[in-house]
Chain A
Amino acid sequence: MRLLLGSLFALAVAAVVGLGTTWLALSRGTAFGAVPIGAWTAWPKTGTRDIDPYARATIARSGELPLGSGDGIAFFAHADDAGRPLDGRCDVLVSGTTPQARFWTLTLYDPQGRLVGNSVDRQGFTSQEIVRHADGSFDIVIAPRARAGNWLPTNAVDSYVLVLRLYDSPVGVATRAAREVPMPALQVQSCP
């Protein structure tokens, strides 16, 4: 009797621990080989054959197709440089320069990866659309209300994800540190 109770207990623990950790790992997007640069993080190996099992399971569950490494690399940001989460009701400034690439795009998604609807039907910028300063750097304001210059509307969503994709870029699996790769700064400026 004691043996039976004990093994049932052990099996219950195993189910909770096993499935719980799996769910946690996949919903948090655990993957190995992250390259964090400032507020931005990329997983270069996710776009290759060497993709790890966690990233495989994550893409199978979400249904996304990761950017192939011969195509480009995607950097994700959920928070600003100081770690404050990106809130659609706040004004957020993206400024500086991007790493070397033939083209880049900056896109705003909700945390599930859907585009966010807004009155001007703009979900992002490409490197050719952007208005730049004389030295080639740029400022993009991500805000709920219209701004002059490069304005990316948030439609005041609770939280969002920014994705900076570099196409035909030397940045990739061999990239290790911020020294080689100047990513734009990300600052939450004012919240209501």
Chain B
Amino acid sequence: MIRWLLWLLAGALLGGTVHLVAVLILPRTATQDAYTRLTPVAPANMVVAVPQPSPQNEIMPFMDPAFATAVCRYDISERPIKLTAPVVAAYTSVSFYTRRGVAYYAINDRSAGRKVIELDLMTSEQRSQLPEDEDITAADRLIVESPTTTGLILLRTLAPEPGLMQIAHSALEQSSCRPLETQQPAPER
């Protein structure tokens, strides 16, 4: 009897380990995460409108229907990208997610403090390779470091009333995300 109880205890302890490992591994094996859902509609390094959520069709759960949404599915493994989003409507935000859907950075029109949200997205390695040039390190250049080489940028604009949804959508159409032009390597001396 005691022997079986010991086996039960061993099983429960091992079960705890299985639980922890399963929780940690699950994000890597998920087949229905946001990135996978958006891949068919969003080519890499382009801003694409996300279909408005409706009861019949929703690309991701818990989307806010008061917002027009666009996405840039980025891949910065080769070079950084530049994101530009004009601020026209009531409220605009830009949120950055890793490949696994972790929101690592978000900014709204007010914290950006100007009429156009302009950001450069790069890995920390690419950032460390930036030439230390006065123009480039100017304070008005906003650089975001991505923890992963792929991920999602969500651009969202609020339509405070349903009638303003068209304006919100057209504001997003003017935004872009594209690879940065290759930087000339500093001449060697």
From DSSP, what is the main secondary structure of chain A's interface residues? mixed
Q: When the two chains form their complex, are residues A15 and B23 in contact, meaning their CB atoms are under 8 A apart?
A: no
Task: Kindly provide the distance from the CB of B13 to the nearest chain A CB, expressed in whole angstroms.
Answer: 8
CA distance A117 to B19 in the complex (A): 37
Please count how many residues in chain B sit with their CB below 8 Å of the partner chain's CB atoms.
63
CA distance A168 to B7 in the complex (A): 54
Interface segment out of the listed A52-60, A82-90, A137-145, A174-182? A52-60
CB-CB < 8 A to B106: which residues of A?
47, 67-71
Please count how many residues in chain A sit with their CB below 8 Å of the partner chain's CB atoms.
63
Interface segment out of the listed B122-130, B133-141, B154-162, B172-180? B154-162
Question: A67-B103, A124-B65 are contacts. A168–B11 as well, Cβ < 8 Å?
Answer: no
Instruction: Spell out A's residues near B (CB within 8 Å).
Output: 2, 6-7, 9-19, 21-22, 25-26, 46-49, 51, 53-54, 56-57, 59-72, 74, 102-103, 105, 107, 109, 112-117, 123-124, 126-129, 163, 165, 167-168
Write 24 A-B pairs (CB below 8 A) sorted by A numbering: A13-B11, A17-B12, A18-B18, A26-B23, A48-B104, A54-B23, A57-B26, A59-B33, A59-B101, A69-B103, A70-B93, A71-B95, A113-B58, A113-B62, A116-B55, A117-B54, A123-B55, A124-B66, A126-B66, A126-B158, A126-B160, A126-B161, A128-B90, A168-B91
